[in-house]
C-alpha cells in the first residue's frame, strides 16, 4: 500500500481527473477486477464533459450513497458527498433536492442498498418523480458483507446464503423503475463505457427521476460463488451475452446468467412534471 501511495506522490504529471477524486483516500478498497472503479471513472468523464460544455457546474453536484462497496463511491469522489445509512440514500437525496432545487443530486449505490433495504424509497421516489438521478451498480449480490443473496441475484445462482442455489425470483430493475414512474431508464454493463457515459450525460441534464443500472462484475463473491471465474471472465460473459437494442422491451430485461441475453439500452425517455413542479402547481391553485 505504501508503495502505491509513493508512486502516486512521485508522479510528475497529475491525471486530469484527479480534481474529481479524493486521492488522499487511495488506495481504494475495491478488489482486483471489481467494476465499481469503472463506474466512477465513466461518471467523472461524463461530469467533466458537461462542465467543459458549460451545462453543469461541479460545485452544484451532490453525490449520495448508502452502505456497501458501491456506497464507497461517495467517499472517493471529490464533490459534495454524503455517505448515508443503509437504504437511506434516496430519502436523503430527496431532502437535499427539495431544500435546494438548484442542486444536481445523484445517488450512486448498490443493488442491495437501493432495492432490498431501500426498495420502498426506490419505487416511491420514482412514483413522485423526484428530480434526482439514481445509479445502481448491480453486481447481483451483497458484496461488502460477504456475498449474501440479494433481490437481483439470478434464480439458481449461488451466494453465501444459498448453497443450493437461489430460489427467489429476482427483480428486473429497468422494469421496476419504469413501472414505478421513472422518466429515464437505461442499462449498460461496465463493458459499455461510451454508451454509459452518454446515459450519464443525458440523465444528469434531464429533469425528473432518472435511473441508470450498471451491470458490474463482483469477481470476489458473485463470480466466485457462481463459478463464472474472475473479473475478466465476467467481462467476457458481458461481451458474449449483452444485446444492445434501440427501444428495448422492458419485459425482456430479466437476467438469468444461464446464457440468456443481458438486454442493454435506453428503455424509457419521457417527460412528466416532477414532484416540486406538481406540488407548486397544486399550492398555487389552492391559493387562487
Ligand atoms: C441497517 C443495516 N443493515 C445491514 C447492514 C450491513 N450491510 C452493509 S453493506 C450491506 C450490503 C450491501 O450490498 P450492495 O448494496 O449490493 O452493495 P455492494 O457491497 O454489493 O456494492 C449490508 C447488508 C448495515 N450496514 N446496516
Ligand atoms: S466484494 Fe465484490 S463488489 Fe466489493 S469490492 Fe470486492 S469485487 Fe467489488
Distance separating alpha carbons of residues 138 and 213, to the nearest angstrom: 7
**pLDDT for 13:** 79
Distance 142 CA to ligand 1 centre (A): 6
Give mean pLDDT, residues 231-237.
Answer: 96
> How far does Cα 179 stand from its chain's mean position?
18
Q: Whose CA is nearest to atom 8 of ligand 2?
A: 34
Give the sheet arrangement for strand 61-65, strand by strand: 80-83, 61-65, 104-110, 133-138, 210-215, 184-189, 262-269, 242-244
**pLDDT for 149:** 98
Q: What is the mean pLDDT of the chain?
A: 95
Q: Whose CA is nearest to atom 2 of ligand 1?
A: 86
**pLDDT for 1:** 42
Give pairs for 77-83: CB < 8 Å, separation 24+. 77/20, 77/21, 77/22, 77/40, 77/43, 77/44, 78/19, 78/20, 78/21, 78/22, 79/20
Q: Domain segments of the chain: what residues?
A: 34-287
Q: What is the pLDDT of residues 248-261, one digit of tens each?
A: 999 999 999 999 99
**pLDDT for 10:** 54
Give mean pLDDT, residues 187-202.
Answer: 98
Distance separating alpha carbons of residues 72 and 83, to the nearest angstrom: 7
Residue 213 Cβ < 6 Å to ligand 1: no
Q: Which ligand 2 atom is the nearest neighbour of the CA of 68?
A: 4
Ligand 2 test: best mutation among 143, 160, 222, 223, most atoms within 8 Å of CB? 143
Set of cell numbers at residue 75: 467517499
| pLDDT higher than 60, residue 172 | yes
Give mean pLDDT, residues 88-107.
Answer: 98
Domain covering 34-287, topology: Rossmann fold (3.40.50)
- What band does 275 get if pLDDT is binned at 50, 70 and 90? very high
**pLDDT for 5:** 52
Length of the chain in terms of residues written: 288
| pTM (2 d.p.) | 0.96
Residue 145 Cβ < 6 Å to ligand 1: yes
| pLDDT higher than 90, residue 2 | no
Taking the CA of 136 as reference, the closest ligand is 1
**pLDDT for 14:** 84
| pLDDT higher than 90, residue 183 | yes
| pLDDT higher than 50, residue 111 | yes
Q: Which ligand 2 atom is the nearest neighbour of the CA of 69?
A: 4
Amino acid at each position: 500500500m505504501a508503495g502505491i501511495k509513493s508512486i502516486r506522490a512521485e508522479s510528475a504529471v497529475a491525471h486530469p481527473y484527479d480534481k474529481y477524486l479524493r486521492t488522499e483516500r487511495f488506495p481504494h478498497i475495491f478488489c482486483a477486477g471489481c467494476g465499481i472503479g469503472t463506474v466512477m471513472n465513466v461518471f467523472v468523464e461524463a461530469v467533466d464533459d458537461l462542465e467543459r460544455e458549460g451545462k453543469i457546474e461541479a460545485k452544484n453536484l451532490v453525490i449520495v450513497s448508502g452502505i456497501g462497496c458501491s456506497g464507497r463511491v461517495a467517499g472517493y469522489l471529490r464533490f459534495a458527498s454524503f455517505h448515508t445509512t443503509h437504504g437511506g440514500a434516496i430519502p436523503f437525496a430527496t431532502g437535499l433536492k427539495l431544500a435546494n432545487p438548484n442542486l444536481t443530486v445523484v445517488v450512486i449505490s448498490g443493488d442491495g442498498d437501493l432495492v432490498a433495504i431501500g426498495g420502498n424509497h426506490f419505487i416511491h421516489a420514482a412514483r413522485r418523480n423526484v428530480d434526482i438521478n439514481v445509479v445502481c451498480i448491480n453486481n447481483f449480490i451483497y458484496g461488502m458483507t460477504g456475498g449474501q443473496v440479494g433481490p437481483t441475484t439470478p434464480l439458481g445462482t449461488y451466494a453465501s446464503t444459498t448453497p443450493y442455489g437461489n430460489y427467489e425470483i429476482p427483480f428486473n430493475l429497468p422494469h421496476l423503475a419504469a413501472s414505478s414512474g421513472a422518466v429515464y431508464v437505461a442499462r449498460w454493463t461496465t463493458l459499455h463505457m461510451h454508451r454509459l457515459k452518454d446515459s450519464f450525460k443525458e440523465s444528469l441534464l434531464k429533469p425528473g427521476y432518472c435511473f441508470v443500472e450498471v451491470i458490474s462484475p463482483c469477481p470476489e463473491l458473485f463470480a466466485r460463488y457462481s463459478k463464472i471465474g474472475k473479473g475478466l471472465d465476467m467481462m467476457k460473459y458481458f461481451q458474449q451475452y449483452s444485446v444492445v437494442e434501440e427501444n428495448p422491451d422492458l419485459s425482456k430485461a430479466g437476467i438469468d446468467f444461464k446464457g440468456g441475453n443481458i438486454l442493454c439500452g435506453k428503455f424509457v425517455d419521457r417527460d412528466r412534471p416532477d414532484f416540486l413542479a406538481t406540488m407548486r402547481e397544486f399550492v398555487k391553485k389552492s391559493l387562487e
